[in-house]
Structure 1
Amino acid sequence: MKILRQLLSKLQLLIMGSLMAAIVVILGLSAIHFFPANIVRDSTTTVITSPESNPIKNDYIELSPTQKLANNQPFLQHFPYAETNLDKLIIVGSYSRDNYQRFEQLNREAAQKLMHLISTARTEGIWIIVISGFRTIQQQQILWKTQVNKLGSEQQAAKFNAPPGYSEHHTGYAVDLGDGQFPSLDLTPEFENTTAFQWLKIHAQEYGFEMSFPPNNSQGISYEPWHWRFISSPEANAIFANAKNTKF
């Protein structure tokens, strides 16, 4: 009888242990379902990507000699910009297309003004979205290489993209904006036909922003109605002084 009770006790412990193991497995599978491996988190941003659509998670590509910052001089009519300290950045919004999503950041003072701008526009029925904010030199290198390969030369690519180390996006004070009602017009000259652009053209300066590359700009860069820079602080104004005052 005593032996039987001992066997029953051991059997009960075995059953309870099996149930606990099963629960752990189920919880683990649930975590994988709700937090898939393609969500990447770090101290500054959360990026949800797909392997096919994310151009940023590549190995670092060494800059060519012509692309290195030399003597703080313009290169292909683009001005050099240092990559800002990440501690100065905060998230201003997210941008998504299909199954690709990323969170965008700006310098804190520019971010606060932009969020106020976006909020005010929404009260007037205008849906302004953030497409791209801060960008590292490494990320710009990938975009630059793609554009050079597409257009055949650095000279042609420079009309549409800045070389790495020469993008206003490195500063944390530049942002690409779009109209949430017309995603097909993101990063196209036709963005100027949207209500979002018409609102920005009238009100952006009230929040300290100006268009970096208007038609016939002095740098000879293609017209970019979506690209705006914050200039309403001593630091930001100093960073963009050359771009504002130099004519080629």
Structure 2
Amino acid sequence: MVEKIIFLEAKSSELTLAGKDFFDRDLFLEKATYKAWLALQEAAKVDKIELFIVSGFRSYEYQQKIIDRKLANGQTLEQISKVNALAGQSEHHTGRAIDLTTTGEKEVLTEDFEKTQAFKWLTENAYKFGFKMSFPPNNKYGFIYEPWHWCYQNEEN
């Protein structure tokens, strides 16, 4: 049985501008997540690992636009929901989830990320900074395996 969770959208007062994402878009993260991300990124650099955020906070509205665009391109809701959370069901709404990439990847947000040194480093170190991979293989939420998707787990979560 697949388990679905509704994630509350972070209030703007809980978010901070964290610079630009991999595609040069404004990147917002929950404030404690941003601090943890900076520490994680710096530790990775010390070990010669470069990490970049592809995606951070997403509003319900933005998430719905992703779904609408894919529907308009002929995908079914069933196909879409294996890859993208529906509006309200994405950890990105919290401002604590980050999708990552590293140097040398031909394409972002694919399972090939697990073959990188960055992924190996994350599996060994991310927990030290409060991050965990949300969607391992055969996860209870029914999402595809997402080795690039990590979420900050603060004291309240």
Q: Same fold (TM over 0.5)?
A: yes
User: What is the rounded CA distance, in whole Å, between the counterparts of 2:116 and 2:54 in structure 1?
Assistant: 15
Computing the radius of gyration from Cα coordinates, the structure with the larger value is 1
- Cα shift readout 1:87-122 (whole Å, capped 9, x = no counterpart): 11113342244xxx2121111111101110001110
Q: TM-score, normalised by structure 1?
A: 0.59
User: What is the rounded CA distance, in whole Å, between the counterparts of 2:31 and 2:97 in structure 1?
Assistant: 12
Decide which of 105, 114, 118 is 2:37's aligned counterpart.
114
User: What is the rounded CA distance, in whole Å, between the counterparts of 1:223 and 1:151 in structure 2?
Assistant: 23
User: What is the rounded CA distance, in whole Å, between the counterparts of 2:99 and 2:68 in structure 1?
Assistant: 20
> Larger relative contact order (C-alpha < 8 A, sep ≥ 6)?
2
* Aligned equivalent of 1:222: 144
SS in 1 for 2:137: coil
User: What is the rounded CA distance, in whole Å, between the counterparts of 1:232 and 1:85 in structure 2?
Assistant: 16
Matches within 5 A, 1:141-160: 141-150=64-73, 152-160=75-83
Structure 1 counterpart of 2:50, one-letter code: W
Q: TM-score, normalised by structure 2?
A: 0.91
**1:151 Cα deviation from its structure 2 partner:** 5.8
* Aligned equivalent of 1:125: 48
**1:184 Cα deviation from its structure 2 partner:** 2.2
**1:195 Cα deviation from its structure 2 partner:** 1.1
* Aligned equivalent of 1:232: 154
**1:146 Cα deviation from its structure 2 partner:** 2.3
Structure 1 counterpart of 2:20, one-letter code: S
* Aligned equivalent of 1:161: 84
* Aligned equivalent of 1:81: 7
Matches within 5 A, 1:29-108: 77-97=3-23, 101-108=24-31
- Cα shift readout 1:148-182 (whole Å, capped 9, x = no counterpart): 34463212211000111211101111111110x12
Which structure shows the bigger proportion of residues in helix conformation?
A: 1
Preserved CA contact (<8 Å) 2:3 2:140: no
1:211 aligns with 2:127: no
Aligned length: 156
Question: Can you give the 5+ residue segments of structure 2 that lack an aligned partner in the other structure?
Answer: none
Structure 2 counterpart of 1:213, one-letter code: F
User: What is the rounded CA distance, in whole Å, between the counterparts of 2:100 and 2:27 in structure 1?
Assistant: 11
- Cα shift readout 1:18-55 (whole Å, capped 9, x = no counterpart): xxxxxxxxxxxxxxxxxxxxxxxxxxxxxxxxxxxxxx
SS in 2 for 1:224: coil
Change in Cα spacing, 1:151 to 1:162, as seen in structure 2 (3 Å) is farther
SS in 1 for 2:151: strand
User: What is the rounded CA distance, in whole Å, between the counterparts of 2:83 and 2:91 in structure 1?
Assistant: 13
